[in-house]
Each structure stands twice: as C-alpha cells, then as structure tokens.
Structure 1
Amino acid sequence: MKIHREGKNILLILFIILALLNLPVYLWIKITWLAYLIHAASIIFFFLVVNFFRSPKRHFKGNPKNAIVAPADGVVVVLEEVLEDEYFHDKRMQVSIFMNIFNVHANWFPVAGKVIHVSHQQGRFMATYLPKSSTDNERSTVVIKA
C-alpha cells in the first residue's frame, strides 16, 4: 500500500510517540488485560491514521475522452450553480464532496488538459456540514483547460 508523502513524517512521529508510550506499559503495568487493552488501542489508532494517508492507484476504466471523473472519494453533498468570483467571475457548477475519515483524502484531477491556474486560499477549518465551509475553509483552486 502506498502512503501519501504528506503522511509519512506524521506516521513516523506517531509510531515513535506510541512506542514511547507503550514501552512503560509493557515494562511496568502488571495487570495483563489492561496492558493488552492499551497496546491494542494504540495499534488500532495507528492503523486508522495509516488508513487516512493511504494513496491507492486509480484507473479509469471508461473512455477518458470528454469524461469528467470524480476528483475525490466520498459523497456528493452539493451540486448547484454558483457565482464563481475567483477566476471566471461568472456562474459555474459547484460540486462539493464530503469525505469522512475512512475515505482516501488524496484528490485527483478529474479531466485531461493543461493546468492554466493554481492558487491556494488560506482559511478556517470549520465543520464540513456548515454552509459557509466551502467558501471560508482553506482550499485550493486548479483551473484546467481541456
């Protein structure tokens, strides 16, 4: 399984922290069931974080010509026409995808073409279910000319 590069350092640091926390448990806690419970919880937590940072290879099986493929795992929660005021300054279709903690959090480009604009907007980290989260949260914009 491939791990996204952003997660490799986080996983290494987390592994060291969990090892340092579990070593005293192994050495000094004589209540066996409690030690096993702490070790099991640490292992489960570590593998949940590994699951979050996995980056599987994606292969589109259809005809890529004139196709738009979902750029992320998750559930489409918004599909509506909005005024896009960053690059085009006119009405565009907004597709918002909610990703839970079990979805792959890598995003792919949904169309073939040439990248003509890339920008990053600093922002908040509001809950995704709030209506203003798609405009107020930190995000990136990529414009692709097909």
Structure 2
Amino acid sequence: MKLHKESKGTISVAIIAIIIIGLISVHYLKIWSLLVLIPLLIILGLVFWFFRVPNRAIIDHKENVIAPVDGKVVMIKEVFEDEFLKEKCIQVSIFMSPLNVHICRYPVSGQVIYKKYHQGKYLVAWHEKSSTDNERTTVAVESLIHHKVVFRQIAGYVARRIVMNCNEGDDAKAGHEFGFIKFGSRMDVFLPLDTEIICKIGDKTKGGIDVIAKLV
C-alpha cells in the first residue's frame, strides 16, 4: 500500500508514542499489557489506512465537474459566494470522515486564478457556518470553457492541518491532486447557477473519478 507524503511526521510520532507506551505497559502490567498494546496497534493501523493513496485512472475532462474528495454529499444549495465570485452560485459540499481518503483534487480543468488561506475556528465540518468560520483555503479555477469555479478546503473539529500545493497561474487538471487535509473535514465546490448537478445529497463520492456536475 502506497502512503501519502504527508504521513511521514504523523506516522513517526505515532510509532514512537506506541513504542514508549508499550514498553511502559509491558514493564508494569506484564501479560495484562496486551489490553493496552492491542488497541494501540489497531489505532496505528487506522493511521496507516488514513494516509493510503489509492490507484485511480484519471481521465481528461472539459465540461465535467469531478468529485474533489472521497466522502458523502451533505449539501446542495444556492448561496452567495462573497469571497471571490461575489454572486449567487450552487454550493456542493462533501464531508470526509477520518476513514476516507483525504487527498484533495481539482474538480475542473483550467487555470488557477486565485488562492488564499484563512485562519479560523474548528467547528464540526458538517456545520453550515464551517464554510466561512473555520480554518480554510479558497481556490478559484477558470475552466477550459471559461467558467469560474471556486472550491474550499475546510478544517473540521479533528482536522488541524490543511495542505494546499497550488499557485496562481498553475494548470489545473480535473481529478489530479492539489492538496491534503489531515483527518475529518469537508470540501465545498461553488458552481455557476446554470450548472447541471448530477449528484444528490447522500451520495458517496470517489475523488477523481465520480462526476458530480456538468458545466454548460
């Protein structure tokens, strides 16, 4: 299983902590130390699982909007996006649990025309105000058919590190990685009002593969 590069620090700390706790528990608890060691090894296994990088065949897209993350569609609604678009649009929000792959991918192909990091709170990721109040990043891409699409990485109650590896002027390719969020979190995509929405609330998405909308 291939692991994401963002796993190095977290896994190293987890292994060191488990070794120390394990040695202490073996010394003081003897055979009963298994009651401590087994749950710790399960937790370590879950950390490895969290940072997995699945093999996915990413194809080229022009009009399609691709699911930017693995997760569950929790919101589809008309909103006013006041940071970059300054107009009404359709917001599609996908929630990621700690068991989901947390690689963040471009939802559309085109060129990055805006990026910004915002400090903020750590409300639970499914909270409606997390899109504007939580620690987050905002990226805008002008698509190949000249639509401006905004998407936002949002830290949740557990997530405390957002990674954004893109810059203004970069080429964006739908389905390809641009960032990562550690542990439970959410990603919002803001689309033009006339976009054909293909997904529905409750749908499970596979990042880089599933088509959630089509630009018209």
TM over 0.5: yes
Q: Number of aligned pairs? A: 143
| Alignment partner of 1:56 is 2:54 | yes
TM-superposed deviation, 1:56:
2.3
Match of 1:3 in 2: 3
For residues 118 and 9 of structure 1, what CA distance do their matches in structure 2 show? 26
Residues 19-28 or 64-73, more deviating: 19-28
CA contact (8 A) 2:74 2:126 kept: no
For residues 85 and 59 of structure 1, what CA distance do their matches in structure 2 show? 35
If asked which structure has higher relative contact order (CA below 8 Å, sep 6+), I would say 2
Identity over the aligned pairs, expressed in percent? 39
Over the aligned positions, Cα root-mean-square deviation in angstroms equals 1.6
Task: Write the letter of the residue equivalent to 1:72.
Answer: V
Query: Tell me, what secondary structure is at the counterpart of 1:91?
Result: strand
TM-superposed deviation, 1:129:
2.9
Correspondences of 1:10-29 after superposition (within 5 Å): 10-29=10-29
TM-superposed deviation, 1:44:
0.3
Query: Tell me, what secondary structure is at the counterpart of 1:82?
Result: strand
The change in CA–CA distance for 1:16 and 1:127 in structure 2 (over 3 A counts) is same
TM-score by length of 2: 0.62
Provide structure 2 residue ranges, at least 5 long, that are not aligned to the other structure: 144-216
Match for 1:112 among 109, 112, 120?
Answer: 109
Match for 1:79 among 63, 76, 87?
Answer: 76
Please say which structure displays the higher CA radius of gyration. Answer: 1
For residues 53 and 123 of structure 2, what CA distance do their matches in structure 1 show? 25
For residues 85 and 37 of structure 2, what CA distance do their matches in structure 1 show? 53
Match for 1:42 among 40, 43, 52?
Answer: 40
Match for 1:99 among 82, 91, 96?
Answer: 96
TM-score by length of 1: 0.88
For residues 82 and 2 of structure 1, what CA distance do their matches in structure 2 show? 38
Q: Structure 1 or 2: larger strand share?
A: 2
Match of 2:67 in 1: 70
| Structure 1 residue ranges, 4+ long, deviating more than 4 angstroms after superposition | none
Q: Structure 1 or 2: larger helix share?
A: 1
Query: Tell me, what secondary structure is at the counterpart of 1:29?
Result: helix
